[in-house]
A and B are shown apart, each in its own frame.
Chain A
Amino acid sequence: MDFIGAYSADNLTFLVNGFWLTLKMAFIAIILSFILGGVVGTLRFAQIPVLSQVLAVIVEVIRNLPLLLIIFFTFFALPEIGIKFKEVPAAIIALTIFEAAMLSEIIRSGLNSIDKGQMEAARSSGLSYFQALWHIIVPQALRRMVPPTVSQFISLLKDTSLAVVISVPELTHQAQIVYGQKSGYLEPTLLVVVLMYFVVNYTLSILSRRLEVKRT
């Protein structure tokens, strides 16, 4: 094991750059998938005939497929029908599709957790369905959605490592390049990579637990 060689300034900068991309991808994907998941979750909650059922099937299929398959599909299969993305956008799209399916369930169950009487009271005081949803249900439900969404963000951060299979230069990919230089670099590199992932994810998981405690 060659700790001094592996931790040269160049190697560490290289890894930090990879981690920065990991964080950026996770951040963009969580925002996009919260929007997409919000739309899907709300439409399913509103129980619009046909549309809700179709969405339910799509969500169920995506949730039950491995993310790796969705990444491969986005990057290697879609070009066959003329839809081409570069590596980073392909990874972000695949992550967004997968996480949006997960988040839509969180959002739907958050909306469902609000007492039915709230909607009835809002409707009978003259609000339209979507006004009631927006002004009465959503603000109450949002608070309950935050802790599971933070947990989902942790999953997402870990899942960005799968982008290595399509050569996105995120942390895991950069690590492979660093430990590929010399056999003694393997353990020191993996150690520092583990540390980077752990510090961020652990901080987030403490945050998620705080929010949960506050709620109850």
Chain B
Amino acid sequence: MNFSILTDNMDMFLEGFKVTIIASITALIASLLLGAFIAVLRIAPYKPLNWLGTTYVEFFRNIPLLIIMLFVYLVFNFKGLTAGTIALTIYTTAFIAEAIRAGILSIPKGQMEAARSSGLTYSQAMRIIILPQAIKVVIPPLGNQFINLVKNSSLVAVIAGGDLMYQADLISARTFKVMDTYILVAMFYLILTIPLSLGVGYLEKRLAKSN
């Protein structure tokens, strides 16, 4: 293993690392907001809204992220990173919506009924009674989605987004040391994903105990 590849190209590795983190966090925040919205559409007491939410989730969960990325990149002519982040958001939203919906549905119906009969409105009951309980259930699957998001952000490299994988391609083309470069890049990804994965595992165990 030749560590001079790391020290000689540190700026490129760090630039890619930064882009990967920015793309992942931006897409996470955006898809949390959108995902919560879609989840509410799916459980709202109006059939057309349910149908809209379900269509979104089923459509985007069942097509490859790469196709969404190519579509956004080529049809709308965004820059690589912008197109990539938008595509990641569209795709991840579908999964996060499902996680949030499952969390809300896991709260017993009696909670809502009791809240409503004690005088709260539907949205008050949702906000004050249901959501705080649901968050506990939702956090581990959201953590898993964030891990997937970090891994999926590597596809941005295919549309020249400047992330870790993209820099790896440039570095290995320059140094002709493909294996060393990719092992180093793997380390950078693991720095992000392993702590997340351990954290999710810990939360899952605690949740299982508290139930």
A159 to B177, CA, bound (A): 27
Say whether B75 faces chain A, with CB atoms less than 8 Å apart.
yes
Those of B134-180 within 8 Å (CB) of chain A: 147, 150-155, 157-158, 165, 168-169, 172, 177-179
Q: Chain A at the B interface: mostly helix, strand, loop or mixed?
A: helix
Q: A172 contacts B67, CB within 8 Å?
A: yes
In the assembled complex, the Cα of A165 lies from the Cα of B160 at a distance in Å of: 12
Q: How far is the CA of A194 from the CA of B189 in the complex (A)?
A: 29
Within 8 A of B (CB), among A21-69: 60-61, 63-69
The 8 Å CB contact of B64, one of A66, A159, A176, A186, is A159
Instruction: Assess A202 versus B62: contact at CB under 8 Å? Given A73-B182, A190-B67, A190-B71.
Output: yes
| Chain B residues, CB < 8 A from A205 | 58, 61-62
Contact status A68-B75, CB under 8 Å = no
A165 contacts B158, CB within 8 Å?
Answer: yes
Is B70 an interface residue when CB atoms closer than 8 A count as contact?
yes
Residues of A54-94 contacting chain B, CB below 8 A:
60-61, 63-69, 72-73, 76-78, 80-81
- Which residues of A come within 8 Å of B, CB atoms? 60-61, 63-69, 72-73, 76-78, 80-81, 154, 158-159, 161-162, 164-165, 172, 176, 179, 186-187, 190, 193-194, 197-198, 201-202, 205
Interface residues of B (CB under 8 A from A): 58-59, 61-67, 70-71, 74-75, 147, 150-155, 157-158, 165, 168-169, 172, 177-179, 182-183, 185-186, 189-190, 193-194, 197
